[in-house]
Amino acid sequence: MQRIGVFVCWCGSNIAATVDVEAVADALSKEPGVVFATNYQYMCSKSGQDMIREKIKELGLTGVVICSCSPRMHEATFRKTCESAGLNPYMVEIANIREQVSWVHKDKAVGTEKAIILGRAAIAKVQLNTPLIAGQTPVTKRALVIGGGIAGIQTALDIADAGFPVDIVEKNPTIGGKMAQLDKTFPTLDCAACILTPKMVDAGQNENIRILSYSEIEDVKGYIGNFDVKIRRKARYVDEEKCTGCGTCMEKCPMKKVPNEFNMGLDNRTAIYIPFAQAVPKVATIDANYCLKLNTGKCGICSKVCLADAVDYEQKDEILEEKYGAIVVATGFNPISLEKFDEFAYSQSPDVVSSLEFERLMNAAGPTGGTLLRPSDKTHPHTIVFVQCVGSRCDASAEKGKEYCSKICCMYTAKHAMLTREKYPDTEVYVFYIDVRTPGKGFDEFYRRAVEQYNVHYIKGMVGKVVPEGGKLKVQASDLLDNRQIHIDADMVVLAAAIEPDKSARPLATKLTASMDTNDFFTEAHPKLRPVESPTAGIFLSGTCQGPKDIPETVAQAGAAASKVISLLVKDNLVGNPCVAKPDELMCNGCSSCEKVCPYGAITYEDKPFRGPNRTTLIRRVAVVNPAVCQGCGACTVACPSGAMDLLGFSNRQIMAEVDAICK
């Protein structure tokens, strides 16, 4: 039997005016297990807390019930008070007789009666409380960033700045991501390369950052503070240490017809290649799909011309095993495939391009050296039609497209239109829009400039059909404000394709046990209050893997994710919430019901020996909860058919004791 002390607070007149505090203390003093009950003006005041401490010591109290304001207000206060008097803080329960009684019930008799009942429920619960000690786990002070685009780079730089080592795992031969492919950035029109490449160099030279390019995540085990990660370093057939990035091999490579993915396939590269001049690491990679030596055994020219002796055709994939305390996902996005939208003739005419392709056509480092030329005949386009929302904002039952707004298209289309008009004033530019969405600093001003200064024709309506004919693209569209159908003979059509999470995200989420929405964007722990954390502890989100974002937002989120990582890594140990799920292995069936409903992946299974009848040993599969990962929601306790799973601090028996006390 516990020795319980009950402390009834007046809260000045807040409680005492409508609750007879003396009667409450008196009634509760008669409850079983209660050895002391009193009332006082302000329990939370220093003298109130002193009294609690004294009584704990004097009477050897093993449990404390405070009848006062909401536990959301002072539960933490009273727990600390008791802890300082040597009582386990989880032996304290609060009966909320202010918000739930004195403030809502005017009749003193009624209020007093209810306060007594709530006090009884708290006493009944404390009877079953057990001392809980928050577990501690050590933290590996190193972070992993998956994805080396602007999100990953910024996160890594910020974490490295705080003095923690970071690994960036990038699946391509270089970091840089989508931003490296962009020409100018909205709304300031500064050149993407000018602001991105210095960051790439910083990342490459930072002694706290290691870039594992051309690598993928193979497997993830462990939990917050203690992840074990296997990283596949794909064979690039070039020794990274030796390669100087001089580019001689690229000049001499006879296989020159490989579609250049960096330029969206608008031109070709060689089989051994460095994706672009500012690549980091600036190291050549052999594309095994096209290399003559690797496919036919004949050639070997790159090896012969390499002065650094860096080419190694025998290289194999390697698996690297590392430990991390935190993982940041920054896997980014891709434009959707436009094959299904052939009403715009994307696969029927080379002059119908996606916005990212257009970006390359405008870029000084692109396939046309920055002169805008039509892909079909390399002539100047004089009429360009931009189509917005291609594949965005589609109905779920439509078989193609995404339900969400891709968020960045309105702005980059305005940018494209403006840049085109600035460089080539003789070009007519039409933009077909459903809505122009420009919430962002300086965004609407930017769009207005496109209309007002650059005379871009913004037309509210949608293109319904594009017909290539005689070197022109016949565009048929609606102009809803004019209520007419219009026909434009265009030279180019640019489609603002919806963006979608990178295809590597879904398998990665499975490895991380991080949750995703139906669109394969990672879900955040709380949509408003924890936007850069995954519900799985220790996993953080940066950039478009969480949802469509522009560059400023991505960088902001990258910084936020980094600061969350830093505040985790500065800790030597993690102190958990001790109110976590606890399975009774003697009753556990190992049926995996609990695991299925756990949003945190906190439950795993172990085969354990148990004593069977007649001195035999039985091996049984039983659930194991990782207290460092469990957040204590209790979903598993109800899913468990045998009642083996219980929640510390809110156990079945505790809650039922409260029910009994209330219904008596």
Partner 1 sequence: MKFSYYPGCTLSAKAKDLDEYGRKAAEALGITLEELPEWQCCGAVYPNATDEIATRLSSVRALSKAKEAGQTLVTLCSACHHVIKRVNGDMQNNIEIRQNVNAYLHTMEGAEPYEGDAKVIHYLEMLRDCVGFDTLKSKVVNPLKGKKIGAYYGCLLLRPGKEMQMDDPENPTILEDFIRAIGAEPVYYGMRNECCGGYITVEDKDQAKKRVNAITGNARNSGVDMLITACPLCHYNLKKNADEPLPVYYFTELLAEALGVK
Partner 2 sequence: MKTEDMIKEITRISGGNPAKCMKCGKCSGACPAYDEMDYHPHQFVNMVLDGRIEELAGSKGIWNCLSCFACLERCPRSVEPARIIEAVRVVTLRKAGANHLKPDDIPARLDDDIPQQAITSAMRKYAK
Partner 3 sequence: MQAVIKKKAIELLESGTVNRVLGWKAGEFFYDLTPAVFTTPEQIEKDFVYSVFSGANMSKYLIDESKKEGKVAAFIKPCDGYSFVQLQKEHRIVRENIYAVGLACDGMCDMREIREAGIKGVTSVEEDGETLKIGTIYGEKTMAKKDALLERCVHCKSKKVVDCDEMIGENGEENRDCGRFDEVEKLEAMSPDERFAFWRSQLSRCIRCNACREVCPACSCVKCVFDNPNSGIAQKAAASDFEENNFHIIRAFHVAGRCTDCGECSRVCPEHIPLHLLNRKFIKDMNELYGFYQAGADFESKPPVMNYTTGDAEPSIVYARGGDK
646: which residues sit within 8 A by CB, 6+ positions away?
A: 581, 582, 583, 584, 637, 652
Residue pair 536/308 in contact (Cβ under 8 Å)? The answer is no
Number of chain residues interacting with partner 1 (CB under 8 A): 16
Report residue 376 as tokens.
């079909």
- Residue 662 near partner 3 by CB under 8 A: no
- Residue 608 near partner 3 by CB under 8 A: no
Local structure of 566: helix, strand or coil: helix
* Closer residue to partner 1 (CB): 17 or 462: 462
- Residue 58 near partner 1 by CB under 8 A: no
Local structure of 594: helix, strand or coil: helix
CA distance 601 to 113: 44
- Residue 484 near partner 1 by CB under 8 A: no
- Residue 318 near partner 2 by CB under 8 A: no
Local structure of 92: helix, strand or coil: strand
| Residue 466 near which of partner 3, partner 1, partner 2, none (CB within 5-8 Å, type-dependent) | partner 1
* Closer residue to partner 3 (CB): 313 or 605: 605
Write down the least CB distance from residue 401 to partner 2, Å.
Answer: 6
Write down the least CB distance from residue 490 to partner 1, Å.
Answer: 13
- Residue 456 near partner 2 by CB under 8 A: no
**Widest Cα–Cα separation across the chain:** 99
| Residue 393 near which of partner 1, partner 3, partner 2, none (CB within 5-8 Å, type-dependent) | partner 2
Q: Which of 47, 70, 295, 485 binds partner 2 (CB under 8 A)?
A: 485
Across the beta sheet with 383-390, the strand order is 352-354, 492-497, 383-390, 428-433, 457-460
| Residue 254 near which of partner 1, partner 2, partner 3, none (CB within 5-8 Å, type-dependent) | none
- Residue 515 near partner 3 by CB under 8 A: no
* Closer residue to partner 1 (CB): 352 or 551: 352
Report residue 91 as tokens.
């032996």
Burial 139-148 (b: 16+ CB within 10 A, else e): bbbbbbbbbb
Query: Cα 336–337–341 angle (5° rounding)?
Result: 105
- Residue 377 near partner 1 by CB under 8 A: no
Contact positions with partner 3 (CB under 8 A) in 640-659 = 641-644, 652-653, 656
CA distance 452 to 537: 49
46: which residues sit within 8 A by CB, 6+ positions away?
A: none
CA distance 626 to 595: 12
- Residue 476 near partner 2 by CB under 8 A: yes
Write down the least CB distance from residue 544 to partner 2, Å.
Answer: 22
| Residue 470 near which of partner 1, partner 3, partner 2, none (CB within 5-8 Å, type-dependent) | partner 1
483: which residues sit within 8 A by CB, 6+ positions away?
A: none
* Closer residue to partner 2 (CB): 498 or 560: 498
* Closer residue to partner 2 (CB): 107 or 343: 343
Residue 251 φ/ψ, nearest 5 degrees: -65, -40
- Residue 639 near partner 3 by CB under 8 A: yes
CA distance 16 to 10: 5
Local structure of 84: helix, strand or coil: helix
- Residue 621 near partner 3 by CB under 8 A: yes
- CA distances from residue 14 to 97, 100, 189, 227, 267 in whole angstroms, order as listed: 10, 12, 60, 50, 77
- Residue 474 near partner 2 by CB under 8 A: no
- Residue 642 near partner 1 by CB under 8 A: no
- Residue 519 near partner 2 by CB under 8 A: no
Write down the least CB distance from residue 399 to partner 1, Å.
Answer: 6
* Closer residue to partner 1 (CB): 300 or 464: 464
Write down the least CB distance from residue 370 to partner 2, Å.
Answer: 33
Residue 566 φ/ψ, nearest 5 degrees: -60, -45
- Residue 596 near partner 3 by CB under 8 A: yes
| Residue 643 near which of partner 2, partner 1, partner 3, none (CB within 5-8 Å, type-dependent) | partner 3
Residue count of the chain, please give it: 664
**Binding footprint of partner 2 on the chain (CB under 8 A):** 343, 389, 393-395, 397-398, 401, 432, 434, 460-465, 476-480, 483, 485
